[in-house]
Structures are given as structure tokens and as C-alpha cells.
Amino acid sequence: MNVKFWGCRGSIPVPDPRMMRYGGNTTCLEVHIGKKTLVIDAGTGIKRLGEHLMREGVKDIDIYITHSHWDHIQGFPFFEPIYSDKTKINIIGRTTSYKQLKSILMRQMSYEYFPISFLELKSSIDFVEASKDRYYHEDYSISLIQTNHTIATTGIKIEENGKFVFITDNELGASSPVTQWHEFVDFCRDADYLIHDAQFTEKEYSKRKGWGHSTFEDAVKLAVEARVKNLGFYHHDPNRRDSELDAIVKKMASKLKRKRVALNVFAVKELGTIKL
């Protein structure tokens, strides 16, 4: 399994030189499992991914949409494969917004907002509802969990010679959680990599409770309890500078070292890769 991050910023893209090392594009990652290409979310990072897939001649693509907030779909109209009649795309979702997902994607490409309508796209696009908690494929499996966000949102676990867990837009400290803490621990248990929402510091979170995002501290706590090997902080706040992320990662790593906890922590970088 090979993973590449094409966008890891939260809320809005940031073309700011103070944030370029970790990246300014919003959520999008690519997972290669054998010959299968799975894309998770269609934030602005999907534009560059689309150019890459066209160069590689990839014609069969599954796009998994965790939820329909702007920073997870705003790059879709700029995804080059949707304009090719040689491309087959499955758009997969499992949220309460899923039933509206097709109309949401179509509306953002209406002429009021975009010069090309959804109906003019040349690729073959099917919408698929993921109604089960787990799916088994020939060489891998995919498991799903609902996160604690302002609309129904889904985390994903992919298992194939290792466990990769991706949970964005999740408030671990939610006062009325849809999914309980112990359920996240079980879902992430023994993962090789956990990529988790860490938009806020503790100080910031005190003023932003209920916004549907987690703190760095809560992400670390989850990873420790679940015996995760590597934790990647994700969904970087649009105001978070590279230097701040560096300092936060250093602080978290020092705390873990003092406690003798064998957990590697890092902040996810745009165009960064993981191999399992």
C-alpha cells in the first residue's frame, strides 16, 4: 500500500509562503493498493493529483468523500480525469449528506459558479453508497467509522499488509459524541499509521468547542491508547504556520519521550508519502 498526500490543510487553501513547507491545499490523498487507485476527498489538492493520474494513464478511479464540506469537495471541478471519456469514476460516500452528494457536486458546477456544468463531463461517473461497516476486496479490506463532526462524516481504515487509518474532521472531545472514545480506540487499534485531525491547540479549542475538530493532545492520547505506531497530525488550521507546526511536533515528541512511549509523531506534509 502506497499513500500520497496531495492536500492536508483544513477549511480553506492558503497560498502563503509561511505555510508552504507543510502545504496550502485542502484535503486530498491517494492510496495505491496493487493496481487499484483510491482517492480520499476532493479538496484543492485533487487538481494536481488529477494531472498526475492523467500522465500515468490511470482510467479507473474510486473517490471516497468523507463529507461534503467545501474543503473536501472544492477541487472536484478541476480534477482533470472527469473531462476524459476514457475515465471511469466511482464516487463513494456514507454520510447523511451522501443522498444529496450528487446534487451538491452538480450545483457547485452550475453556471452561476463554474463555466462547465456537471452534465457536460465526459467521464463515466457513478455514485455508490457505502452502507456497510466493512468491505472485503481480493487483496485488502476497508472499514468505516462515523466521526464527531458538525455533519455526518466518515473515517476510513484500509488493511493490506498493514493498517492505515485516516480520520479527518473529528472532535474527540465532543460533549455529545455520536461515536464514543472507546470505539475510536478499537477502530485504530495497532494501526501502523493513524492520520488524524489536529486542527487546534488546547488554548484554541477552549474557544472553538463544537466546531468538529480535535486538539493535538487528544490525537496523541487516542494513538497511545490504541497502540498506534505512527501518528500524523492532519487538517492543519489555515492560520497555522510551518514554524508553529514544527514547534508543536517537537513538543509532543518530547512529552512522549519523557514518558517512554514508543509513538512516532509528525505533521503531514503535502506531497508526503507513506509506504506499508
The CATH number of whichever domain residue 95 belongs to comes to 3.60.15.10
Q: Residue 99: what pLDDT?
A: 59
Mean pLDDT of 216-224: 98
SS3 content of the chain, % helix, strand, coil (to 5): 30, 30, 45
pLDDT exceeds 60 at position 211: yes
Range of the domain at 160: 2-275
Cα–Cα distance measured from residue 8 to residue 49, given in angstroms and rounded to the nearest whole number: 13
- Quick one: pLDDT band at residue 119, thresholds 50, 70, 90? very high
Q: Residue 67: what pLDDT?
A: 93
pLDDT digits (tens, 9 = 90+) for 60-84: 999 999 999 999 999 999 999 999 9
For residue 215, the SS3 value is: strand
- Amino acid identity of residue 22, one-letter, is Y
Angle at 49 between CA 46 and CA 50, to 5 degrees: 85
pLDDT exceeds 70 at position 154: yes
Number of domains in the chain: 1
Mean pLDDT of 90-99: 71
Task: Quote the pTM value.
Answer: 0.96
Judge contact between 157 and 145, C-beta under 8 A. Answer: yes
Mean pLDDT of 51-59: 97
